[in-house]
Amino acid sequence: MTRTISRTIAALAFAACAEAADAQADWQTVQQPATWLNAFVDHAITTRTALWFDGHWRRMDFGLPPQQLLLRPGLQLTLTPALRVGGGYAYIATAPYGESPNPRPVREHRAWQQVTLGHSLSGVTVSHRLRSEQRWSAPLGTDDELGPLRYQQRLRYFVRAQRSLTPRTIGFVANEFFLPVGHSEGAQRRLQNRAQLGVGIPIDERQRIEVGYLHQWNRITPRETHEINHTVVISWVWTARR
């Protein structure tokens, strides 16, 4: 199952990126620094269910101009020790940021569903996540009233590998690809890829701090821009299983 999902997403990603490269040779490319502060909570309610929450405070440069606030609560259900499904809601507030900004702030409400699968290979722990999103977003007007909502769908495939570096640290690498689904309108066909590496430091049995670098690429069709954000990521992770 994991290999099938991975190969399907990889094939779609390759086709989309090849099409983008052919059509966007004359687009501008902007590169800019960013800082993300994250919190992840995976807290058991019963032996099979868990509360999920992740929050993200994203800023440009080194914590100065606002980029985005994201709040994502949900529930997870354990089917087997390696397989979980989940879903929930997300609220996202995006500011006009960077060298190629949106014309207005954007507010988004999102429903999401996901399946995660984990396994180990030669001392390396690997996790896969396939997430589906249904998104309703609108620009915020000068009078703080929302414009008309626009509906989009998106698939996201995330893979992460980690292993112990020392008794007190772990190292990890990860990648996530975002693919719009079911939209022929150019303004909605926005691709994104996030590649990350970093280290994690346990605080106790339930908590750890992770520090890493994330290379975020956005294809912004309406503004004919390739946006590359060189991002410092600091995360607090809480995991409590029964």
% the chain with pLDDT above 90 = 71
Neighbouring CB atoms inside 10 A of 228's CB total: 14
Mean pLDDT of 152-170: 95
Task: List, in order, residues 6 or more apart from 73 with CB less than 8 Å away.
Answer: 51, 52, 53, 88, 89, 90
Residue 166: exposure state from Cβ atoms within 10 A (0-12, 13-18, ≥19): exposed
Least confident of 53-57, 174-178, 188-192: 188-192
What would the two tokens of residue 20 be?
A: 């983008």
SS3 (DSSP) at 51: strand
pLDDT of residue 18: 44
DSSP single-letter state for residue 229? E
Q: Are 36 and 233 in contact (CB under 8 A)?
A: yes
pLDDT above 70 (res 209): yes
Q: Are 70 and 92 in contact (CB under 8 A)?
A: yes
Least confident of 99-108, 150-159, 165-174, 178-187: 178-187
DSSP single-letter state for residue 97? -
Complete DSSP assignment for 165-218:
EETTEEEEEEEEEEEE-S--SGGG---EEEEEEEEEEESSSSEEEEEEEEEEEE
What would the two tokens of residue 214 be?
A: 């994330």
State how far the Cα of 51 lies from the Cα of 168, in Å rounded to an integer. Answer: 27
pLDDT of residue 103: 85
Parallel, antiparallel, or unpaired for β 66-80 and 83-94? antiparallel
pLDDT above 90 (res 213): yes
Give the model confidence (pLDDT) of 83-123 as tens digits: 999 999 999 999 999 888 888 999 999 999 999 999 998 88
Q: What is the pTM of this model?
A: 0.86
Parallel, antiparallel, or unpaired for β 66-80 and 192-202? unpaired
pLDDT of residue 237: 98
DSSP single-letter state for residue 146? B
Q: Are 87 and 113 in contact (CB under 8 A)?
A: yes
Give the model confidence (pLDDT) of 35-73 as tens digits: 999 999 999 999 999 999 999 999 999 888 999 999 999
Hey, which residues does 50 pair with through a beta bridge? 44, 76
